[in-house]
């Protein structure tokens, strides 16, 4: 697979496994891992993810954000898969932060953008725009400070 992600960095790769007839949409960084030889860069990303996780937990604990924590429940999962192809909620972002899954600040920003799109798609009564803005600003500011 050699898609051109320079023109569309948020594009998805469609994967269909031989032993599974379902189609899976993956982000480029889920399949094509950058060559990580710079341990300082990885340490900076880990620090960014740890800081962001602290902020995300505060957001998740607020009662008004409850419906963003687990959007991927069975009822809404079908709608998301059919319409957005990228189910995303705060719980999944938190899991990815905990496991240091993200390799770039852009990959975190992308998941936050997907979350915002999904919440609008499902017409969830939330303050997602404020959350989106708050997390985006924090990621960009910290990434600039850390030079990543």
Q: What is the pLDDT at residue 76?
A: 78
Please give the model's pTM, rounded to 2 decimal places.
Answer: 0.72
- 78 or 148, higher pLDDT: 148
| Joined tokens for residue 75 | 């009822």
> Within a 10 A sphere around the Cβ of 98, how many other Cβ atoms?
13
For CA atoms 49, 52, 58, 60, the dihedral sign is negative
Question: What does the angle CA 29 – CA 138 – CA 120 come to, to the nearest 5 degrees?
Answer: 70
How do residues 53-87 score in pLDDT, each as one tens digit? Answer: 999 999 999 998 888 888 777 777 777 777 776 78
Kind and range of the H or E run holding 23:
strand 23-26
- Number of helical H runs and strand E runs in the chain: 7, 2
Contact 126, 111 (CB under 8 A): no
């Amino acid at each position: 697979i050699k898609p051109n992600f320079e023109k569309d960095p948020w594009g998805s790769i469609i994967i269909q496994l031989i032993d599974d007839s379902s189609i899976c949409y993956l982000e480029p960084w889920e399949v094509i891992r950058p060559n990580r030889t710079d341990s300082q860069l990885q340490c900076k990303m880990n620090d960014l993810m740890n800081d962001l996780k602290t902020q995300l937990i505060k957001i998740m604990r607020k009662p008004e954000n409850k419906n963003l924590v687990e959007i991927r429940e069975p009822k809404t999962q079908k709608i998301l898969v059919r319409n957005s192809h990228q189910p995303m909620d705060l719980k999944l972002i938190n899991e990815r932060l905990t496991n240091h899954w993200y390799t770039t600040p852009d990959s975190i920003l992308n998941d936050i953008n997907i979350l915002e799109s999904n919440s609008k798609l499902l017409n969830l009564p939330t303050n997602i725009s404020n959350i989106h803005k708050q997390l985006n600003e924090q990621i960009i500011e910290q990434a600039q400070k850390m030079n990543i």
